[in-house]
């Protein structure tokens, strides 16, 4: 019996050691698999990044109102310079960049567009003294300005040429003959300009007031789609703008 005990002890010890070796081997195999998995994940991430970069470098094809196909390059994106900490190499084609300001000649040769970085991620576009604020991505191509909008119906992005703010103001003045104050104009992601102002009028022909008006204008055509005023507006007479 005394001889059996040492042999039994040695057998149990051997089984325990073999079990430990097997557990360690399985653990190393799992770590190897994890490392391979991480490597694949990193490769997929790199591929995604490369695909994004390649997409950014591609040209965007746009069809103008005459049916001509226009190819817009990423380098013509106006926000590149402003978001790149004013790197002169990112200045859009046919524009002049200095500090937080971009100046671009327009195709008719008699107008200039000025773009200034806003304070909350937006940009201010000015043409002939008329300003518009926007967060929409803009491109300057051969003296024309294009914008990347979100189509609310399809959910896809679409790039199209836009009517600039000075021409939009002219369209509004054709509809609103009254004197206005506190005007604001914003280019929205849905492809519309939104105009807000206070229209001067006399309530019941006696008391001078300001009616809050709002208009929605198609950015591609300049058509005034919606013009809203207070419901009681019929009780007020507009004060005409003598400078119009």
- Asked whether 183 and 240 are in contact (CB, 8 A), the reply is no
Q: How deeply is 10 buried, as exposed, middle or buried, from its count of CB atoms within 10 A (0-12, 13-18, 19+)?
A: exposed
pLDDT tens, 192-231? 999 999 999 998 888 888 899 999 999 999 999 999 998 8
Distance (Å, rounded) from C-alpha 139 to C-alpha 128?
19
pLDDT digits (tens, 9 = 90+) for 143-200: 999 999 987 777 788 899 999 999 999 999 999 988 899 999 999 999 999 999 999 9
CA distance 125 to 103: 10
Closest CA relative to residue 143, chosen from 84, 72, 208:
72
- How are beta strands 95-98 and 101-105 bridged, if at all? antiparallel
**Please, are residues 201 and 210 in contact by the beta-carbon 8 Å criterion?**
yes
State if pTM tops 0.75.
Answer: no
pLDDT of residue 207: 86
Q: How many CA atoms lie within 13 A of 177 on its CB side?
A: 4
Contacts of 97 (CB under 8 A, 6+ apart): 81, 86, 88, 91, 103
Nearest-CA neighbor of 214 among 222, 224, 204? 224
Give the residues across from 70 on adjacent strands: 62
Question: Which tokens in the block code for residue 124?
Answer: 């201010």
């Amino acid at each position: 019996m005394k001889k059996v005990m040492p042999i039994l002890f040695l057998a149990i010890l051997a089984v325990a050691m073999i079990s430990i070796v097997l557990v360690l081997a399985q653990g190393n195999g799992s770590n190897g698999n994890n490392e391979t998995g991480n490597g694949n994940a990193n490769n997929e991430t790199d591929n995604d990044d490369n695909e994004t970069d390649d997409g950014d470098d591609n040209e965007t094809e746009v069809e103008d109102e005459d049916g001509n196909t226009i190819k817009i390059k990423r380098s013509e994106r106006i926000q590149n310079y402003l978001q790149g900490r004013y790197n002169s190499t990112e200045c859009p084609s046919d524009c002049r960049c200095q500090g937080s300001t971009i100046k671009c000649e327009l195709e008719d040769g008699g107008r200039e567009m000025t773009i200034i970085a806003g304070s909350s991620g937006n940009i201010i576009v000015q043409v002939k003294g008329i300003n518009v604020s926007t967060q929409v991505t803009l491109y300057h191509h051969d003296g024309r300005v294009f914008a990347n909008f979100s189509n609310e119906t399809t959910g896809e992005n679409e790039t199209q040429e836009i009517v600039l703010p000075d021409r939009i103001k002219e369209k509004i003045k054709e509809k609103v003959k009254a004197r206005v104050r506190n005007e604001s104009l914003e280019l929205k992601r849905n492809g519309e300009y939104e105009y807000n102002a206070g229209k001067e009028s006399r309530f019941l022909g006696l008391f001078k007031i300001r009616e809050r008006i709002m208009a929605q204008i198609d950015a591609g055509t300049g058509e005034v789609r919606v013009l809203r005023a207070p419901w009681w507006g019929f009780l007020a007479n507009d004060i005409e703008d003598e400078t119009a």
